[in-house]
Amino acid sequence: MYTSHLLPSASSATFPAFGLSSEALTLESLFASLPVDKFAAGEGVFWEGDAASDIFQIAEGCLRLYRILPDGRRAIIGFRFAGEMLGLSCEGTYCYTAEAVTPIRLRRLSRARLRAMSEGDGQLQSLLLAKVFEEIRAAQQHIVVLGQLGAEERAAHFLVSAARRTGADRKRPVVIELPMTRQDIADYLGLTIETVCRVMSKLKRDGLVTLEGRHRVILVRVADLQQLAGELDSAEPWERQASPWCPPQWPH
């Protein structure tokens, strides 16, 4: 029998932030009855190259997803917070390592079982597909950030994006918890730890944010931060005619 009551705090408190309520309910029900795995901070959940046997949903805590380059550089692909899913877009083998930033609790669903469940269920398939599309969208967003934005803009985007993902942008003041280290943020934004520090200090100095300890940031002037971030998320599509861009013709 399924649990008659939802988890005391986690589910009802955290889910509304991460999608349509119907979506959250349906995907949540997939995981709700599964046992919970715990990992300590710093522990790995899976490694790049492992057979991608399971997908996960985070009940509590924060993870970093990363790849290590041959020379030892670490590229953090992204972070995952409570309520979000993990490993859905990997086929065959995991294409990054997942590691707990904080102590975490998560539910594991075998890929084979998910496949079986979704076999005849068109609604479930589209829910999953929507998650995959969301992931692509986020990845493309990150590409734009890394390719085009400067250090301050990247940081601003990171903060605004974190606020939106955790639902913190819907209350005032906007308070976000950043459990990861500065080094994590640096490896995620393609900067050095020193640059991340400097930029955060500058945002503080300019009155855009307040820093409370190492892991709490209060977004004071959200609109300015969004503008700094290039309004990449909320921006209406660029005007088709107004584009200053004159595309080069072939041949050149």
Residues of the shown chain interacting with DNA in the complex, contacts defined by CB under 7 A:
150-152, 181-183, 190-198, 200-201, 211, 213-214, 248-249, 251-252
User: C-alpha 196: how far from its chain's center?
Assistant: 19
The CB-of-240 to DNA minimum distance in angstroms stands at 20
- Fill in the DSSP letter of residue 82: T
Q: Which stretch binds a second copy (CB under 8 A): 8-16, 22-30, 168-176, 242-250?
A: 242-250
Is it true that the peptide bond before 251 is cis, omega within 30 degrees of 0? yes
Give the separation between CA 248 and CA 252, rounded to whole angstroms: 7
Is 173 among the residues that bind a second copy (CB under 8 A)?
A: no
Is 238 among the residues that bind a second copy (CB under 8 A)?
A: yes
Residue 42 or 207: the one with the smaller Cβ distance to a second copy is 42
Query: Of a second copy, DNA, none, which one does residue 8 interact with (CB within 5 to 8 Å by kind)?
Result: none
**Identified binder of a second copy from the candidate list 113, 137, 170, 216, rule CB under 8 A:** 137
For 58, phi then psi, to 5°, come to -85, 120
Token reading at 202: 């500058």
Instruction: List Cα–Cα distances, 51 to 57, 95, 114, 170, in angstroms.
Output: 18, 10, 16, 39
For 237, phi then psi, to 5°, come to -55, 145
Residue 6 or 235: the one with the smaller Cβ distance to a second copy is 235
- Interface residues for a second copy in 64-83 (CB under 8 A)? 67-75, 77
Give the separation between CA 230 and CA 66, rounded to whole angstroms: 25
User: C-alpha 43: how far from its chain's center?
Assistant: 19
Is 5 among the residues that bind a second copy (CB under 8 A)?
A: no
Residue 32 or 151: the one with the smaller Cβ distance to a second copy is 151
Q: Which stretch binds a second copy (CB under 8 A): 6-14, 19-27, 161-169, 239-247?
A: 239-247
